[in-house]
Every structure is written in C-alpha cells, then in structure tokens.
C-alpha cells in the first residue's frame, strides 16, 4: 500500500532497503549461527548517516523523527532482527539524552552518536527489576562532585559493545518511584565492567550482557535532568521507542511473509503449487492483512508522537503490542506454509520465528503493554463520567 | 589535495549486444550504471580526502544523461562534478576520449587523477594511460593498495600476474585501480540530499580549449573491423645470465620474432 511518503522519506527507506538487501541479507544466517556482532553493517549504517536520522541537525543529525527512524528499522528487520535490534537499541539509549540531557551533555554525546562513531545502550532492567522497573536496586550516591554507582544491570542490548550507556539508578531509596535518576556513563570508566555475553534463542547477532558497577565514579554533570526524574525519563524514553519495536514487528513479518509467499508459489504438491490450495491462500491472506494493519497503526502512532502530542503512552503501547503479536503469529504461520522446509536452516523463516519472540518481551512485555492500555482506558472512562 | 576521478557511465549488463553491421555496442534500452571499477576509484579518492583534506571532483564525458552517474558519485561523497558534453565529442574512440579528458583535467587542475582499470563496455583499459600521456604525467596502472600519500608523492602497490610491485611517484600522477583496492561505500543520506541539489558544471569544446579536429569522430583514428576474444597463448621464457648477457639475449629473441 502507498503511504504517500515524501521524497526524503522515500530516499531514507530505499537506501535502508538497499543496505538490508546487499549488506545484511547475505550474512544474516552466518551472524545468527556464529552469534556475531554485526560491526561491518553498523559501519555501513554509520557511513550512510542512519544513526543521525532522528538527532537534531545542530548535533550533526538529519533532524527527522521517530517515523523516519521506524522506516529504517522496518527495512533492516525484513532482513535480520538481530541487526535491527543492535541498531534500534542506539536510538533507545539516546532518547534519555535527547529528552533530559543538558546542553553540555548533548554537545558532548550526540555528535558522536549521530555519526555512528559510538554505539549506545540503555540500562534499566535488573535481576529483580523486569516488568516491575521500580524494583531497581542499583544505587548512585552523590559524593562531592561525583556520583558513585553500585549494582548490576541485566540483559542489556549492546552491553560491552557500546561506548555510551544511559543508566537508571536509585539516588534516594526513601522516595520510591521518585527516588530514581538517569545518568550517562562512558565505557572505560573505572569500576564499570561487563558480564559474559548471553546465549539466546534468537536475535543472536545482537549482544546482551550484564553491566556491573562497583564504586564506579562519574562526574555529577552526567546526571540527566534532575535527581528523582529517572523513571519519568525512562517512561518517556519507552513511549518514544516502542513504535521502533512495532516497526521491527512489521519488518520481520513482511520478511517472513515474502519468503512464504514465494515458496508457496513454487512448491508443487498434488500436481499444483501449494498456493493454489485455499487453506494456504487463506493463511497468506490473513498474514498480509495483519501486516498491513500493523504497518498502518505503527506509522500513524509514530506520526502522532512526532507531532509533539503529550499523552502518547496508550497509542505507543498499542503500536508495540499489535505489531509484535502480528510478527509472532505471521512468522509461525510462515514456517507452517513452508512445511518442513520452513523448519530448516536453509530457509530464513525459522530464524525469523525464533527472532520474533523477543519483540513480545523486551521494552515491556506485551502483558505490560496491555496494562498500560488498560490503565489509560480507566483514566479515560473516569474522565468521561 | 585536489583529486579528479574519471567516471564512465556504462550499460548495466554483462551481456553487451553488438550491432553486427557496425561492430559497435548497442546501448539502447539498457539501464546505466557507473562503471564498477570507477566506484573503487571514487572510494579511493574519498579515503584520501578524508585523510589529507581537499576536494574530490568527478569528471565524465558523455551525453547529458551521464549526469545521473555524477549525482550518484556525489551521493557517495564527491564534492564537485563536471560533465563534458558537446556534439563535437560524439563518436570518440579511446584516443579522442583521452584527449578530451586530458584537456578538461588541464583546465581543472589536479594532484591525483583516478581512473578505473577498464570500462566494462569498451573494455580497452586504454583511457587511463592515454590520458596520462596527453597530460605528460606519470601513471601507475592496476593499483591494488595505496601505501602512503604525502603532499608531493604517493606510494602504491601495482597488481601483477604474480604478486605486486611497490611503486612510488611524484605528484601529479594518474592512477588506474582494480577491485582489490577497496570496498566502495554505499551512498549516504546527506550525500543523496546534496546530490539532488548539486550544481553540475557542464563543459564543452570551447570551455576546455580543445582542438576541434582532435575531438569526436574526426579525432578518432580507430576503425573497428572485428571484435573477438583473443586466444591466450601463455608462453614464458626466462632469460638468464649477467645483465649484459640478458640484454643481448633479449634483443636476439625480439629480433627473431620480428618485434624489432
Ligand atoms: C534479549 C533481551 C534484550 C534486552 N535488552 C534490554 C535493554 O537493552 N535494556 C534494558 O533495560 N532491558 C533489556 N531487556 C530486559 C527486558 O526489557 C525485560 O526482560 C522485560 O521487561 C521483562 O522483564 P522480565 O524478563 O524480568 O520478566 P518478568 O517481569 O519476570 O515477567 C515474567 C512474566 O510475568 C508477566 N508479568 C509480570 N508482571 C506482570 C503484571 N503486572 N501483569 C501481567 N503480567 C505480568 C510478564 O509479562 C512475563 O510474562 C532485554 C531482555 C532481553 C531478553
Ligand atoms: C570495439 C569498440 C566499439 C566502440 N563503439 C562505440 C560506439 O559505437 N559509440 C560510442 O560512442 N563509443 C564507442 N566506443 C567507445 C569508446 O571508444 C570508448 O568507450 C571510450 O573511448 C572509452 O574507452 P573504454 O570504454 O575502453 O574505457 P577504458 O579505457 O577501459 O576505461 C578506463 C577508465 O577510463 C575512464 N574513462 C573511460 N571513458 C570515460 C569517459 N567517457 N569519461 C570519463 N572517464 C572515462 C574511466 O575511469 C574508466 O574506468 C567503442 C569502443 C570499442 C573498443
């Protein structure tokens, strides 16, 4: 379907598509097999200016929005979710600086992020703080001109490979949700180390590690916003980034659908291509319809957020929830349409099915998305009375 | 550092059709691309610029639609583009092409000139070296690695059948490149936006101060009789002895096969 993208949006999408086809697709199976971090692809994306898409022009970016970022994430995801996760996690880790960073911090960090010189990671989750982010136990104590960080972050995308980390830590235990703050931490700071790389079901090109802080001292200027704003910054960050996860869902679903449709046309059984059987056609019809609905929702919500709208939590949760549930269903069905071949590593859809599962889990599980939508509905109905 | 890259727009096909009557290439209806070797030349030029500063200018001789190739070069990171287009240039063989490029390069001025090893359509691999001759400038062909660049010299590896030569030259110099040299980059978004707006300079016969009789069909001594893939007869003889004996034997051999 034509979404009437403007000339620059088409340029962005087409170049991202070209990189997905020429640079990602040929090596995705190998990256998955070897669990290899996609450095070469990150370098290509950097050289082609993709890391700066939604960073302001004054910091060397292109000054576009989450919508354009989503277009890029979607295209990369049609080829490989591991690669698109590595790329998208940068945007996730950058939002806290964009949302709450001082001029100095923006000047210090955003140009290197926009040029792709330095990768970024976002550290919220801990062993005891998953869905319940308020359970964060990592502490940051102000001592003179420095904050001293102690604690361990778990399952952090790009952990160890990124140079810049935005971290949520507790500055005042007594204040509950208002006791958390957000910080920027550089790799190489004494007292900051990494755990081993996790071995995962899918998105194996993406790296996931622990971040370990042991009396890690950072300048007090590395505080993002004000002390106590940590969770607000984290929630605003996730509100913005969730359409990116939605875009990942649309992309991987499209990639799986394309592979399945081509296969169904070529595969002959009972003297006819399997696409001629109505049962198969109907599966493909449902898949295509769900993908288009997911895309339409993700695009609309991204534009809604880019418009500067204030209350976006519900819409952004809907985009993530719907598009990633579609991604799971479509990738499972793509394997089904392709039968035994779909289950084999020679074809890309088994990987897409393994990869898609993460989309229902990270950046808030889909149960949590339903909670967010539900809470918004309660608020709205209360107002209506 | 002023760097000029000569790029040729070529038809995007490995199966080039040849007009059986005229023995020339049939170009109609085939999409055009930048000659693949020239992409490596552009990449090399941009890498030098990134290292030493300066300017990369892409230069092409061709019909107005060759402008697309120039814009694609800018999207990769070239700064300026010049299109040599004039009715008088039509029908150029490699001699006239090289003469025309040389006249333009003289006008533009450059420290390093890059060409591809060969064009995938014409395939002669003559334009680079011939252009250098017209410019009365040293050239190094088939370079596969650039070891060092200074303000006044360059050191490169020249690919040979077995191994490579390390060659150093003063600047200005013309280099022709092989694919082993580098991996051409993708265009960038900022480059693409710049390419859309870029002003392309067009130059004709008068602008480059060329002699009309040396241009186009008039200036082209080549007459194509037949096109065929030559049989490769690889025969090699090592000439041994002291340098004096080697020269003597070589002269004898060359006289025997009537080369001199
Ligand atoms: C590969 C990978 C990469 C990740 N990258 C990052 C990253 O870069 N940065 C980062 O900070 N985090 C990251 N995470 C962490 C991720 O965001 C969490 O895993 C996620 O939020 C879920 O938390 P949990 O795993 O602790 O699950 P739990 O919270 O333990 O949930 C277990 C189950 O209970 C359900 N559940 C929990 N609470 C409720 C509730 N109130 N109502 C209904 N259901 C509920 C959940 O939906 C889930 O099904 C990553 C995780 C993975 C696996
Ligand atoms: C058999 C034959 C038939 C031909 N028929 C025709 C014809 O019908 N009509 C016609 O118009 N021409 C024709 N020519 C084309 C013309 O002679 C050559 O295309 C042209 O001179 C360049 O030579 P080449 O393609 O062999 O390039 P090469 O010498 O192989 O190219 C080497 C490098 O020189 C540079 N270069 C070459 N050409 C240009 C250019 N135009 N602008 C900028 N840089 C350049 C590039 O860097 C290129 O990588 C024919 C050539 C041959 C050999």
Q: Which tens digit of pLDDT belongs to each residue from A208-254? A: 999 999 999 999 999 999 999 999 999 999 999 999 999 999 999 99
With the CA atoms of A262, A263, A264 and A269 taken in that order, what torsion angle do they form, in degrees rounded to the nearest 10? 140
pLDDT for residue A324? 98
Residue A137 and residue A200 in one domain: yes
Q: Give the closest-approach CA distance of B195 to chain A in angstroms.
A: 12
Indicate whether A222 and A335 sit together in one domain. Answer: no
Would you say residue A179 lies in a domain? yes
CB B227 less than 6 A from any atom of ligand 2 = yes
**In the predicted structure, residue B16 carries a pLDDT above the cut 70:** no
Question: How far does the CA of residue B154 sit from the closest CA of chain A (Å)?
Answer: 26
Name the phi and psi angles at A158, rounded to 5: 70, 5
Q: Are residues A145 and A190 in the same domain?
A: yes
Q: Which residue, of A72, A95, A114, is where some domain finishes? A: A114
A72 vs B: CB within 8 A? no
Contact of A115 with A60, CB cutoff 8 Å: yes
Both A141 and A203 in one domain: the answer is: yes
Residue to test with chain B: of A7, A16, A39, A48, most B Cβ within 10 A: A48
| A141-161 per-residue burial string, b: 16 or more CB within 10 A, e: under 16 | eeeeebbbbbbbbbbbbbbbb
Looking from the CA of residue A153, the nearest atom of ligand 1 is 11
In this prediction, residues B201-226 reach a mean pLDDT of 92
- At B4, phi and psi to the nearest 5? -110, 135
Q: Which residues of A touch B188 (CB under 8 A)?
A: 47-49
Examine the pLDDT at B14 and tell me if it is beyond 80: no
Reported as a single tens digit per residue, the pLDDT across B109-141 is 999 999 999 999 888 999 999 999 999 999 999
- Here the tokens at position A58 are 């004054």
Q: Last residue of some domain: A114, A137, A163?
A: A114
Ligand 2 contact via B35 beta carbon (within 6 Å): yes
Same domain, A253 and A337: yes
**Which ligand has the nearest atom to the CA of A133?**
1
Confidence of residue B23 (pLDDT cuts 50, 70, 90): confident
Q: Which of A65, A81, A68 is nearest to A7 (CA)?
A: A68
Indicate which CATH number applies to the domain containing A290.
1.20.140.10
Residues of A in contact with B187 (CB under 8 A): 15, 48
Residues of A in contact with B185 (CB under 8 A): 44, 47-48
DSSP lists the bridge partners of residue A152 as A212
Q: Which of A98, A114, A130 marks a domain boundary?
A: A114
Catalytic positions of A are: 363
Say yes or no: A145 and A283 in one domain: no
Look at residue B122 in the predicted model and tell me its pLDDT: 84
Closest C-alpha residue for ligand 2 atom 51: B122
Where do we find the tokens 């295209």?
A75
Asked if A8 is an interface residue toward chain B (Cβ–Cβ < 8 A), one would say yes
CATH of the domain at A77: 1.10.540.10
Q: For residue B26, is pLDDT > 80?
A: no
Containing structural domain, residue A236: 231-380
- CA A227, A231, A236, A237 dihedral sign is positive
**Please, where are the H alpha helices in B14-91?**
36-52, 67-76
For residue A198, give the ligand 1 atom closest to its CA: 1
Class of domain B2-214: alpha beta
Check residue A105 and give its pLDDT.
Answer: 98
Residue A356 has a CB neighbour count (10 Å cut-off) of 30
Instruction: Give the number of C-alpha atoms closer than 13 A to the C-alpha of residue A317, restricted to the C-beta side.
Output: 20
Residues B116/B124, Cβ–Cβ less than 8 Å: no
Rounded distance, CA B187 to CA A11, Å?
11
Give the span between the Cα atoms of B69 and B163, in whole angstroms.
33
- Pair (A352, A363) in one structural domain: yes
Other Cβ atoms within 10 Å of B68 Cβ, number: 15
Quick one: pLDDT at residue B15? 57
Q: Is A289 exposed, middle or buried, given 0-12, 13-18 or 19+ CB atoms closer than 10 A?
A: exposed
Distances (CA, A) of A210 to A121, A156, A198, B61, B164: 11, 6, 9, 57, 48
Q: What is the pLDDT of residue A142?
A: 97
Residue A385 lies in a domain: no
Task: Give CA–CA dist B161/B151, Å, rounded.
Answer: 31
CA B108 to chain centre: 17
- The whole-chain average pLDDT of chain B stands at 92
Quick: pLDDT tens for A88-115.
999 999 999 999 999 999 999 999 999 9
Helix (H) or strand (E) segment spanning residue B81: strand B80-84
Q: Residue A133: what pLDDT?
A: 92
Q: What's the B143 CA to ligand 2 centre distance in angstroms?
A: 20
The answer on A372 and A274 residing in a single domain is: yes
Are residues A90 and A223 both part of a single domain?
no
Low-confidence ranges of chain A (pLDDT < 70): none
Structure tokens, A322: 């719907």
pLDDT given for residue A32 in this prediction: 98
* Segment B146-166 mean pLDDT: 95
Q: Can you give B163-177 as a three-state secondary structure string? A: CEEEEEEECCEEEEE
pLDDT at residue A167, rounded to an integer? 98
Task: Looking at the structure, tell me whether residues A288 and A376 fall in a common domain.
Answer: yes
- With H, G, I as helix, E, B as strand and everything else as coil, classify residue B16: coil
And the tokens for B31? 């999409």
Interface test with A, best of B46, B186, B194, B195 (most A CBs within 10 A): B186
Residues A55, A99, single domain; the answer is yes
Closest listed residue to residue A45, CA positions, set A8, A103, A84: A84
Confidence (pTM): 0.89
Would you say residue A2 lies in a domain? no
Look at residue B154 and tell me whether its pLDDT is greater than 70: yes
Pairwise CB contact (< 8 Å): A47 & B190: no
Place of tokens 């890391």: A51
Banded pLDDT at B223 (limits 50, 70, 90): confident
HSE-CB for A283 with a 13 A CA cutoff: 22
Total structural domains in chain A? Answer: 3
- Both A368 and A240 in a single domain? yes
DSSP string, A20-86: IIIIIGGGHHHHHHHT---HHHHHHHHHTTGGGTTS-GGGTS----HHHHHHHHHHHHHH-HHHHHH
* A366 Cα: distance to centroid of ligand 1 (angstroms): 9
How close is the Cα of A367 to the center of ligand 1, in Å? Answer: 10
How far away is chain B from the Cα of A40, in angstroms, using its nearest Cα? 11
Which residues, 6+ apart, have CB-to-CB distance to B160 below 8 Å? B142
For residue A295, the tally of other CB atoms under 10 A from its CB is 23
Residue A249 belongs to some domain of the structure: yes
For chain B, percent of residues with pLDDT exceeding 90: 79
């Amino acid at each position: 379907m034509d979404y009437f993208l403007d000339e620059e949006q088409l340029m962005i999408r087409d170049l991202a598509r070209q990189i997905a086809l020429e640079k990602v697709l040929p090596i995705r199976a190998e990256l998955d097999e070897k669990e290899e971090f996609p450095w070469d692809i990150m370098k290509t994306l950097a050289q082609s200016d993709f890391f700066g898409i939604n960073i302001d022009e004054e910091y060397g970016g292109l000054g576009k929005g989450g919508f354009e970022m989503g277009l890029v994430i979607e295209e990369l995801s049609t080829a490989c979710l591991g690669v698109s996760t590595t790329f998208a996690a940068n945007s996730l880790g950058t939002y806290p600086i964009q949302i709450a960073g001082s001029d100095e911090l923006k000047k210090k960090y955003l140009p290197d992020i926009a040029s792709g010189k330095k990768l970024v990671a976002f550290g919220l989750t801990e062993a005891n703080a998953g869905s319940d982010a308020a359970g964060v136990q990592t502490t940051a104590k102000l001592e003179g001109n420095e904050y001293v960080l102690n604690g361990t972050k778990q399952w952090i995308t790009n952990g160890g490979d990124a140079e810049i980390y935005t971290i949520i830590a507790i500055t005042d235990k007594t204040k509950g949700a208002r006791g958390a703050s957000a910080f920027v931490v550089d790799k190489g700071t004494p007292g900051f180390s990494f755990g081993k790389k996790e071995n995962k079901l899918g998105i194996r090109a993406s790296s996931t590690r622990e971040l370990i802080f042991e009396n890690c001292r950072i300048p007090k200027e590395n505080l993002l916003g004000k002390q106590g704003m940590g969770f607000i910054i984290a929630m605003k960050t996730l509100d913005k980034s969730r359409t990116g996860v939605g875009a990942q869902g649309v992309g991987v679903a499209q990639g799986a659908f394309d592979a399945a449709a081509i296969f169904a046309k070529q595969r002959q059984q009972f003297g006819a291509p399997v696409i001629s059987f109505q049962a198969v056609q109907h599966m493909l019809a449902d898949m295509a319809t769900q993908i288009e609905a997911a895309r339409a929702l993700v695009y609309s919500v991204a534009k809604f957020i880019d418009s500067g709208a204030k209350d976006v939590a519900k819409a952004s949760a809907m985009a993530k929830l719907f598009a990633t549930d579609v991604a799971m269903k479509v990738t499972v069905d793509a394997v089904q349409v392709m039968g035994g071949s779909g289950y084999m590593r020679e074809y890309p859809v088994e990987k897409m099915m393994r990869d898609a599962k993460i989309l229902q889990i990270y950046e808030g599980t889909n149960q949590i998305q339903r909670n967010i939508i539900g809470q918004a509905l309660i608020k709205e109905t209360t107002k209506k009375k | 550092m002023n760097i000029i890259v000569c790029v040729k727009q070529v038809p995007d096909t490995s199966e080039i059709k040849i007009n059986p009557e005229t023995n020339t290439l049939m170009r109609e209806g085939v999409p055009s691309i930048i000659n693949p070797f020239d992409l490596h030349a552009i990449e090399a030029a941009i890498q030098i610029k990134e290292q030493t500063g300066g300017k990369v200018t892409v230069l092409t001789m061709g019909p107005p639609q060759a402008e697309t190739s120039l814009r694609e070069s800018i999207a990769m990171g070239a700064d300026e583009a010049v299109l040599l287009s004039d009715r008088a240039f039509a029908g150029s063989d490699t001699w006239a092409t090289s003469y025309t490029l040389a006249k333009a390069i003289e006008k533009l001025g450059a420290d390093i000139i890059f060409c591809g090893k060969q064009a995938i359509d014409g395939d002669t691999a003559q334009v680079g070296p011939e252009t250098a001759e017209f410019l009365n400038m040293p050239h190094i062909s088939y370079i596969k690695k650039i070891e060092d660049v200074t303000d006044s010299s360059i050191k490169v590896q020249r690919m040979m059948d077995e191994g490579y030569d390390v060659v150093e030259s003063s600047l200005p110099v013309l280099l022709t490149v092989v694919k082993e040299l580098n991996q051409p980059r993708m265009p960038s978004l900022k480059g693409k936006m710049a390419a859309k707006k870029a002003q392309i300079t067009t130059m004709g016969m008068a602008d480059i101060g060329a002699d009309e009789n040396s241009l186009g069909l008039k200036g082209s001594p080549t007459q194509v009789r037949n096109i065929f893939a030559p049989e490769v007869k690889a025969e090699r003889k090592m000439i041994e002895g002291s340098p004096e004996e080697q020269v003597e034997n070589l002269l004898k051999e060359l006289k025997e096969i009537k080369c001199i």
